[in-house]
Amino acid sequence: MVKVARKSSVYLDVCSLCRPFDDQRFARIRLETEAVHLILENVKAGKMLMIISPVHYEEIKATSNNMERIEIFSLFKNYGEMIKGSIGEIKNRAGYLYASDFGIADAAHIAFAEAACTDFVTCDDRLLKKCLKMRFKIWCGNPLQYCLKENLK
């Protein structure tokens, strides 16, 4: 039996997607921006899938920077793979995570990433710390860690 390689997939939260628009005077932000660009280059080249959810759209709609909003919506339209799954189950999981001290949007993003069985990437240290404490079945990390894990070039 021949094993078919599955494309790796990634769920970048809005914090990660917006990293390139942050103040680049700080080394950490520049490094994470480069990592996000590397991830997106691989998505655009068809080497991996970028999973998106309705939560992405809601958060980006609220972004005050027009250029940022337009560029990210364009990314979603051209390269995003909308998650498929039971919205009821995802909602229940998000509710559980919210009750476990996650913010509403963070809980929803994680629930969608779990439903897609994909890696979850965030630049939010507090969120990442909570994720690691919960020991989710999906991989959670920041953009740099993800690039190293996937050996992205």
What pLDDT, in 10s, does the model give residues 134-143?
989 999 999 9
Domains in the chain (CATH in brackets) are 8-150 (3.40.50.1010)
Q: Quote the pLDDT of residue 4.
A: 42
CA angle (17 as vertex; 52, 102 as ends), nearest 5: 70
Residue 148 has pLDDT above 80, yes or no: yes
Spell out the residues 6+ positions from residue 13 whose beta carbon is closer than 8 angstroms to its own. 106, 109, 120, 121, 122, 123, 124, 127
What pLDDT, in 10s, does the model give residues 70-96?
999 999 999 999 998 789 999 999 999
Burial (CB < 10 A; 0-12, 13-18, 19+), residue 90, is buried
Q: What's the mean per-residue pLDDT of the chain? A: 94
Q: Quote the pLDDT of residue 7.
A: 79
